[in-house]
Structure 1
Amino acid sequence: MNETRTTCPYCGVGCGVVARVEGGTVSVRGDETHPANLGRLCVKGSALGETTGLAGRLLHPVVDGEETTWPQALDVAGERLREVIETWGPQAVAFYASGQLLTEDYYAANKLMKGFIGAANIDTNSRLCMSSAVVGYKRAFGEDIVPCSYEDVENSDLVVLVGSNAAWTHPVLYQRLVKARQQNPAMKVVVIDPRKTATCDIADLHLPLLPGSDAGLFVGLLNMIQGTTEWPLARVAEFCGLPAEEVGTFYDWFMTAPRAITLYTMGINQSSSGSDKCNAIINVHLASGKFARPGCGPFSLTGQPNAMGGREVGGLANQLAAHMNFEPDDLSRVARFWGTERLAQTPGLMAVELFDAIARGEVKAVWIMGTNPAVSLPDSHAVCQALAACPLVIVSEVMRDTDTSRFAHIQFPALGWGEKNGTVTNSERRISRQRAFLPAPGEARPDWWIIAQVAKQLGYAEAFSWQHPQEIFCEHAALSAFENNGERAFNLKELASLSREEWDALAPYQWEAGDFPHRKIIPVEPEKHGATVDALYPLLLNSGRIRDQWHTMTRTGYVPRLMQHMDEPRLEIGAEDAAHFALCDDQLARVSSPRGVMVARVKINNGQRAGELFTPMHWNGCFARQGKVNALVEGRCDPHSGQPESKQTAVRVMPWQPAWQGDLYARELPELPPSAYWWRKAAQDVQRMTVAGDKSLLEWVMAHCTGQGWQLQIAQTGERSSVLAWQQGELMLGFWEGKTQPELAQAFIEEAFRTAPVELAERHAILNGQRPGERGDPGRIICSCFSVGENAIREAIAEGCDSAAALGAKLRCGTNCGSCVPELKGLCKVTV
């Protein structure tokens, strides 16, 4: 048995994890000594051990579709990059990085692109989530400094969550807030969000404002603090679509609270005026004095595990390095430190404009590291077209097949969580170690090593001669301290001389924010969102994260228990809108914009404002046919931050009643005909798809199985058909279809693929999709930690469990990570 203290690779909370390897199996628990989480983990963190398998991994370099050796792959990459640079110049090359990279990887990539290739065209998926927050902080403080810590959340009198469903997106921090509120009943919580989300469970006040109107709310508050009348209460209420008395309550609470803290994330940042919204929030804290003291401040929660680390090393195209800018003194300083005469002199292309430049043919080579822009960027069909036409696409990835890697000319196999070694920085400026506890599989290598090897191919071996990530970290820390006499708060001087042993043992370290000598209130003129709702596209679509999945699902999508809570794209719509557009709960619907279409299953949710929809952003071409929400989203960006407005898209919706729906289980999933719509779902020891279409798949399935030489077992009763395919007593494939989605005992079917049934009666039961005497569908899983379904919960409520605590005592649901508690409370309220 071996235990390693490391850090979770998901959201920006930065939870400490203790990983144990025993008998080839990885298990995890929360690290009680880590100050970010104090031992608590969410369901995604708890399931980390289930993501460490090698199924689907990219384990060898691939060039032009063929596996090859590292020397050959690096030689080809270097030759093709040199050709682009020599022919078109350094501006024809771009890197697109990720908040999933470790700080050492990020530093190496930024140094190569800006310092030696000589262009600043390195951007990151953090542009899609945190870049407006960066602009807000830099304009207010002169530097990208987050002024708060998690303890401030616990020690405040008023906690304001705006554009944040923290209960699902930052669950461990949210549970710290829940506990703090229990210990301090006088604490008030305000949630500002167009939707009624799980986070509203503890809200004393929920303000369901008009989408995109947040700046008006905070400008009005600033006016009240300063005693001006340009944005009086009535104007704010009208602009935000809120009752004046509720706005007044919020303002009164904020002004009278001794301490107040505002937590904000994607709902603020992902806007065409996101930077101004961030400054509107910062302004009220500066003007009220609720700043730079315990329990106070504007707190941007980062969405990714190392979005902050990427900002520290300059991983955004409009930053230089170590919180320095494209200004003469900083340019000179960084060039001298790196020993280069090729340093980029001007900012580079930001994410959306970078891929636009690829589409125009101006960028000829792009290296994508640890992210999936073919899914995550707006107008994703256009992004795919750009990548398809790009002369050189290099992808460093953990998984072999992603939407983006399908366009790669060169694929580099990267290490995954548990295999790589380095540091990350969380939302509260705390640097933590990610430590390796698994061997490198196949020929996978650290991202920093891959970058350094390519740098050597380009002739920059001396500047990239690191042998260990500790050397990179110390160089990064030294750069932060270089000629830094207090002008820059970001200064890791005391870490710059760490020995390898000291770096290996580094405890979580929070760098100091300083005293903010350059505080500045930035004038903000509130603007509405940029989406145009009209008769053709009458609804406003919001997209975001769900509780149990992460980004584009390349890791979490293959874990069965993380797909239990929500295993298909879901379209949330209010009851009145559902009736108007002839939509029923659980039926399929098509959502479209001028750019694309997606198919999702309807969920009627009265927490949705009229005229508004919500759908998750995770599904992609590997997990669904037409499940990408970003295929609909326009690449409309904030002019200051370059962050796209992913939260507001004008769409229309139409019901889709397919001729049939069904489920397909197989040891290896066949490639379905183009007429079939499908959703891939994680299952235990078998592959599973839910399928639907306007043409039955039954004949196609039987023809496929016959072509494999399998023995068929068929049943057709009324409007339902089922097929089992056997080979030497082993179940190879099972298919069930009907006019409506068949109710199947999933665990029973999965078991049949593991243990070959002998008795004919059992084979008939499998064909029916239900174990004899077994109850029907357990219902949608509410508690992923203990796989507790909605039907079991409703039954327990009917038997007398009238609270989340009572349900937890009986069924265990809600007793681990706590993320499902709001849903348990909701079921208690509506179940008679």
Structure 2
Amino acid sequence: MDRPLSPGAARPAPVRAPDGPASPAVAPPRSPLPLARDGTGEGVAAPAIRTTCAYCGVGCGVLARPDGSGGMTVEGDADHPANRGRLCSKGTALGETVGLSGRLLTPLVGGARASWDEALDLVATRFRDTIAEHGPDGVAFYVSGQLLTEDYYVANKLMKGFIGSANIDTNSRLCMASSVAGHRRAFGTDTVPGTYEDLELADLVVLTGSNLAWCHPVLYQRIAAAKAARPGMKVVVIDPRRTASCDIADLHLPIAPGGDVALFNGLLVQILEQGAVDAGFAAHLDGFGAALDAASSDDLSATGLDGDLLRRFYDLWTRTEKVVTVYSQGVNQSSSGTDKVNAILNCHLAAGRIGRPGMGPFSVTGQPNAMGGREVGGLANMLACHMELENPAHRAAVRAFWQAPAMPDAPGLKAVDMFRAVGEGRIRALWIICTNPAVSMPDADAVRAAIAGCDFVVVNDLTARTDTARLADVLLPATGWGEKDGTVTNSDRTISRQRAVLPPPGEARHDWAILAEVGRRMGWFRAFDYASPAEIFREYATLSGIAGRFGLDFDISGLAAMTDSAFAAMEPVRWPVSDTRRGGRFFGDGRFFTPSGRGRLLPVSHRAPAVALGDGFDWRLNTGRIRDQWHTMTRTAKSPRLSRHLAEPFLEVHPADASMLGLSPAGLAEITSRHGRAVLRVLITDRLRRGEVFAPMHWTGETAPTGRVDALIAPVVDPVSGQPESKAAAVAIAPFAASWFAFAVSAGEPVPQADYWARARTEGGWRLELAGTRAPDDWEAEARRLFGLPGAEMQMLSDPHRGITRMAFSENGVLKAAIFVAPEPVAVSRDHLAGLLGEADVPVLSGRPGADRPDPGPILCACLNVGVNTILGAISSGGALSVEAIGEALGAGTNCGSCRPEIAALLARATLREAAE
């Protein structure tokens, strides 16, 4: 039996359509696509379409085949340089996420169905009128790293070149803005120096602020494979938590929150003292003395690490020439994120370990096209093609190229400031595209209120059922992954094609086409008269040639003459692509993009997290991601197996802290900050330091209303990058005083009304976790309301003395729903019960399978649907006593490999139990 937080507890699902006509928001199945014919009249499998994954910045190649019924099969593309055929659990399940349940099929205005002409005329008119009354800065766009480059380019051109404001920012501000700022300060432009191949060529890989095993699993597997082939290769993980990435680590540094600058400043000092400075390369650098003076003044106690760990790390780094330092959100999402980035860059520059095979700093991005957004100027402080908004020559060149009527000469509002301006009424019209800021922004409750109070809000999305879409005045149906056509750029500068596999459903349109049509209706017909993404790409590539002539890094002008057919057939290519340069690494030759042509070391010093502990907020909250979910789950929640691993919002707490706080395993905790509140399931673990807790950020008002973790995060940002401090909130923690708990399964969509609930899709319906402070007066009446089954047959088992109630509801003998209520977290076999939905005459109320039906337990390997109990059975039989043996016997861990650390942990626990017996 599994309790609520065993992997596989409660999995999110769509909620109710907005008020008004239901038909536009709830889509019928796709029309079947005809199968190809082989000349004999027999159907044959459709040819594979080469495209890219919808998720992280690795940019994996995918082979997708339409199945003729509106779905598709998916496998890794062995010819794509990013993944060479590998896919993670999310990528493997992409074909399960293209169903049309909940899809928005027509425009909605005020919640009512409207024509495209009505909707677009209204958008154009309201934006034009708002600009006339309040000026260009009275409007704003908030866009997304999940847009294709062509979508991003048109949005940036419309806002900066024609509306005349720089008020366009992106959710990538929350992800990698500190890397952008650090690169620009050190290199003169936002350049990623190395390539993925460097991860395999390195003799030392340092993962800092990056749980690569769960957040970028394919890169992690590339490193793991390289380490297996070359056992002398070393891996260091720097993270406050012991994450899955530590499975291959030779050294784990459990750094204190905010201690990164002090750690790398200490390394810079050691690089000098141990003679690891590259004197020849240092001749190409400025700022060495000031950076070293600042580093020498830092106190290493800020790292929270003992002297032995520090010495081991410093010795390993300084004595290994081929070293790559991989960093991600754990570095970027900080009020000192830019300084953290520059502290890392300082070390690589001083040692000359940059721009050569197997060495360099490496920022890995969180979204599939965060890099593409950086390239087109999707941030409020940038122009397209890495040109600078505040550089008069750059600004004039872009304006002339676009033949634009206006161009801002100062940065616009970055994400946190943008939504603050919305709340204060300084921004009166807001267009949100392909993102969910009512959940994902810091101080999310205030952001939700700001959007709700804005005069005019437009949202482009796939569904009406997100926290943000529900606040829109105009909701426009956009195409999504599998329907879109264009390009994306991954973390190592590789541009790949994303291709349509399925037709757009209903009246859905591409984001670039929606933006261009509004531009035309606002009076700029010629500038936005685009017929295809290939045409937009050619314009963008031509503009990059101007950047190249300014001596900047981003130049893909070699692709500017690409025909439509060549664009359709385009292979992955790493930029730059110009007459003088193609792909490769940057800075190994000592040439940079600063005015002097020299690289810069920056003097940086440790700063504690900006949000102070105290006044009752005495715990440091770290936020992040889990293995099988993506952002706010609008896509991954459609795949039942992706929610069977960790299926409800949770809080990791150290055992000693849990005891001090009175928290019990699988109980509920109430977490409060100075900005918001959450209720989360308790997961007691020694993976993290005392005084610190961790919660993932995926759950929403649609899937678990009290699990909106970003409501706890203060709107405090890095002063240079504008990136929020998402990793170090100050919170108070207390047990949530629930008087009852419940687990339920339902073939129909349940409508919960409880103090705590978390909902998830299963293969046959939904599963649901609930809890409350006051029990319903009539459990049967409440269950019938919850399931929408007023007349169904019911079986009940009740023990009022123990507070236990169990009910099962059937129609014509077929199980439709069941609920299990208890005064403590319910212990039943959750996956077993979910699997009974739709079956006839099955025993349900025991909550566990009979002897004739083995219980695989909570799913551990989402790729191949292998449960914990199945793995434990293989271990106890004595036939599978290693991760490799389990993989050979069951397949678990043999696809993306991100479950291998958990399999190893099961093996270790089983071995300890055996030794103790």
Matches of residues 717-732 of structure 1 in structure 2 within 5 Å?
A: 717-718=798-799, 719-727=803-811, 730-732=814-816
Structure 1 residue aligned with 2:441, among 358, 377, 391?
Answer: 377
State the match for 1:531 in structure 2.
611
Structure 2 residue aligned with 1:644, among 717, 720, 724?
Answer: 724
SS in structure 2 of the partner of residue 682 of structure 1: strand
**Alpha-carbon offset, residue 767 of structure 1:** 4.1
Instruction: Tell me which amino acid in the other structure corresponds to 1:418.
Output: G
* Whole-angstrom CA distance in 2 between matches of 1:773 and 1:245: 53
1:39 equivalent in alignment to 2:102: no
State the match for 2:21 in structure 1.
none
Contact 1:130 1:269 in 2 (8 A): yes
State the match for 1:680 in structure 2.
759
1:824 equivalent in alignment to 2:908: no
State the match for 2:819 in structure 1.
735
Instruction: Tell me which amino acid in the other structure corresponds to 1:49.
Output: G
1:788 equivalent in alignment to 2:866: yes
1:595 equivalent in alignment to 2:675: yes
State the match for 1:247 in structure 2.
310
1:669 equivalent in alignment to 2:749: yes
1:297 equivalent in alignment to 2:360: yes
* Whole-angstrom CA distance in 2 between matches of 1:794 and 1:593: 40
Instruction: Tell me which amino acid in the other structure corresponds to 2:748.
Output: E
**Alpha-carbon offset, residue 809 of structure 1:** 2.2
Instruction: Tell me which amino acid in the other structure corresponds to 2:349.
Output: L
1:14 equivalent in alignment to 2:77: no
* Whole-angstrom CA distance in 1 between matches of 2:309 and 2:646: 34
1:478 equivalent in alignment to 2:542: yes
Deviation track 1:26-83 (CA, whole Å, cap 9, x = no partner) reads 1111000000000000000000000010001111111000011111111111111122
* Whole-angstrom CA distance in 2 between matches of 1:708 and 1:542: 41
1:284 equivalent in alignment to 2:364: no
SS in structure 2 of the partner of residue 609 of structure 1: coil
1:657 to 1:368, Cα distance in 2 relative to 1, 3 A? same
Instruction: Tell me which amino acid in the other structure corresponds to 2:568.
Output: D
* Whole-angstrom CA distance in 2 between matches of 1:571 and 1:747: 22
SS in structure 1 of the partner of residue 707 of structure 2: coil
Range with greater deviation from structure 2 (461-470 or 738-747): 738-747
* Whole-angstrom CA distance in 1 between matches of 2:125 and 2:613: 49
State the match for 1:617 in structure 2.
697
1:117 to 1:705, Cα distance in 2 relative to 1, 3 A? closer
SS in structure 2 of the partner of residue 691 of structure 1: strand
Deviation track 1:726-764 (CA, whole Å, cap 9, x = no partner) reads 445554433221223444444554455434x2x4xx3xx
Contact 2:849 2:855 in 1 (8 A): no
State the match for 2:36 in structure 1.
none
* Whole-angstrom CA distance in 1 between matches of 2:788 and 2:91: 43
SS in structure 2 of the partner of residue 201 of structure 1: helix
1:749 to 1:341, Cα distance in 2 relative to 1, 3 A? same
* Whole-angstrom CA distance in 1 between matches of 2:848 and 2:724: 47
State the match for 1:221 in structure 2.
267
Deviation track 1:267-315 (CA, whole Å, cap 9, x = no partner) reads 0000001001101100100000111111111100011000000000000
SS in structure 2 of the partner of residue 366 of structure 1: strand
State the match for 2:242 in structure 1.
196
Contact 1:16 1:30 in 2 (8 A): yes
1:318 equivalent in alignment to 2:373: no
Instruction: Tell me which amino acid in the other structure corresponds to 1:289.
Output: G
**Alpha-carbon offset, residue 662 of structure 1:** 1.4
Deviation track 1:338-396 (CA, whole Å, cap 9, x = no partner) reads 00121222110000000000000000011000000011100000001101110111000
Contact 1:37 1:172 in 2 (8 A): yes
State the match for 2:371 in structure 1.
308
State the match for 2:646 in structure 1.
566
Q: TM-score, normalised by structure 1?
A: 0.96
* Whole-angstrom CA distance in 2 between matches of 1:707 and 1:615: 33
* Whole-angstrom CA distance in 2 between matches of 1:338 and 1:107: 12
**Alpha-carbon offset, residue 711 of structure 1:** 2.9
1:425 equivalent in alignment to 2:489: yes
Matches of residues 108-507 of structure 1 in structure 2 within 5 Å?
A: 108-227=154-273, 236-326=299-389, 327-482=391-546, 484-485=548-549, 487-507=551-571
1:32 to 1:708, Cα distance in 2 relative to 1, 3 A? closer
1:734 to 1:148, Cα distance in 2 relative to 1, 3 A? same
Contact 1:217 1:236 in 2 (8 A): no
Contact 2:787 2:817 in 1 (8 A): no
Contact 1:770 1:776 in 2 (8 A): no
Deviation track 1:164-189 (CA, whole Å, cap 9, x = no partner) reads 00000000000000011111111111
1:601 to 1:746, Cα distance in 2 relative to 1, 3 A? closer
Instruction: Tell me which amino acid in the other structure corresponds to 1:336.
Output: A
* Whole-angstrom CA distance in 2 between matches of 1:705 and 1:548: 28
1:483 to 1:249, Cα distance in 2 relative to 1, 3 A? closer
**Alpha-carbon offset, residue 249 of structure 1:** 1.5
Range with greater deviation from structure 2 (508-517 or 362-371): 508-517
Contact 1:42 1:817 in 2 (8 A): yes
**Alpha-carbon offset, residue 787 of structure 1:** 2.0
* Whole-angstrom CA distance in 1 between matches of 2:827 and 2:374: 48
* Whole-angstrom CA distance in 1 between matches of 2:884 and 2:784: 52
SS in structure 2 of the partner of residue 402 of structure 1: coil
**Alpha-carbon offset, residue 133 of structure 1:** 0.1
1:703 to 1:416, Cα distance in 2 relative to 1, 3 A? closer
Q: Where do 5+ consecutive residues of structure 2 fail to align?
A: 1-44, 274-288, 576-582
1:797 equivalent in alignment to 2:875: yes
Deviation track 1:209-264 (CA, whole Å, cap 9, x = no partner) reads 11111011111111222348857899654121111121112111111112111000
**Alpha-carbon offset, residue 154 of structure 1:** 0.4
Q: TM-score, normalised by structure 2?
A: 0.87
Flag the structure with more relative contact order, 1 or 2, with Cα contacts below 8 A and sequence separation at least 6. 2
Contact 2:829 2:857 in 1 (8 A): no
SS in structure 2 of the partner of residue 571 of structure 1: strand
Matches of residues 802-817 of structure 1 in structure 2 within 5 Å?
A: 802-817=881-896
Contact 2:294 2:604 in 1 (8 A): no
Q: Where do 5+ consecutive residues of structure 1 fail to align?
A: none
SS in structure 2 of the partner of residue 626 of structure 1: helix
Range with greater deviation from structure 2 (247-256 or 687-696): 687-696
State the match for 2:796 in structure 1.
715
1:766 equivalent in alignment to 2:844: yes
* Whole-angstrom CA distance in 2 between matches of 1:780 and 1:320: 48
Deviation track 1:756-812 (CA, whole Å, cap 9, x = no partner) reads x2x4xx3xx134444443568643321111222223323322222321112222222
Contact 2:458 2:473 in 1 (8 A): yes
Contact 1:415 1:446 in 2 (8 A): yes
Q: How many residues align?
A: 825
Range with greater deviation from structure 2 (560-569 or 733-742): 733-742
1:59 to 1:436, Cα distance in 2 relative to 1, 3 A? same
Structure 2 residue aligned with 1:5, among 47, 50, 56?
Answer: 50
Deviation track 1:457-512 (CA, whole Å, cap 9, x = no partner) reads 11111100000000001111111102632611100011111000000101000013
Deviation track 1:521-558 (CA, whole Å, cap 9, x = no partner) reads 11112211112112511110000011000000011012
